[in-house]
């Protein structure tokens, strides 16, 4: 049985990786997200992974409580639906960096956010 977890190693926090993702990464729009992604060959066997970052613009949502709510919903949707993507990364020995940027002007319920995450992951699988 596979456990659905979202550990520290799966979060994209390295400044250099983030800069590379935002400067060289490809992008696509999957409502309510803009998805940036960058595929690199993993240097060694245990380095094949998927790292993700979720952003919600302060300009659109002034209150931190609201930004955190959207981010929590997106993280949960990703956590429950990421299996195929991590398996693909391990099989192909690639390192995938992904940024989910929330672009909607209103707070969506969990079902709406999960639908967007699922669609984005499906498109990412097709592009790999």
Q: What are phi and psi of 73, to 5 degrees?
A: -65, -40
Which residue's structure tokens are 């596979």?
2
d(CA 19, CA 17): 5
What is the helix (H) or strand (E) element at residue 24, kind and residue range? helix 15-24
d(CA 116, CA 31): 6
pLDDT tens string for the chain (128 positions)? 567 888 898 999 999 999 999 999 999 999 999 999 999 887 765 666 899 999 999 999 999 999 999 999 999 999 999 999 998 888 888 899 999 999 999 999 999 999 999 999 999 999 88
* Token pair recorded at residue 65: 């409580």
pTM of the full structure: 0.92
């Amino acid at each position: 049985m596979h456990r659905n977890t979202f550990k520290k190693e799966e979060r994209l926090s390295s400044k250099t990786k983030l800069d590379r993702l935002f400067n060289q990464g490809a992008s696509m729009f999957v409502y309510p997200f803009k998805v940036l992604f960058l595929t690199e060959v993993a240097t060694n066997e245990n380095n094949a992974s998927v790292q993700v970052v979720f952003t919600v613009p302060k300009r659109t949502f002034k209150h931190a409580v609201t930004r955190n709510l959207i981010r929590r919903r997106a993280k949960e949707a990703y956590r429950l639906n990421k299996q195929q993507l991590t398996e693909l990364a391990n099989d192909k020995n690639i390192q995938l960096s992904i940024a989910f940027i929330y672009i909607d002007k209103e707070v969506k319920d969990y079902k709406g956010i999960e639908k967007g995450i699922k669609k984005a992951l499906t498109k990412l699988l097709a592009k790999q």
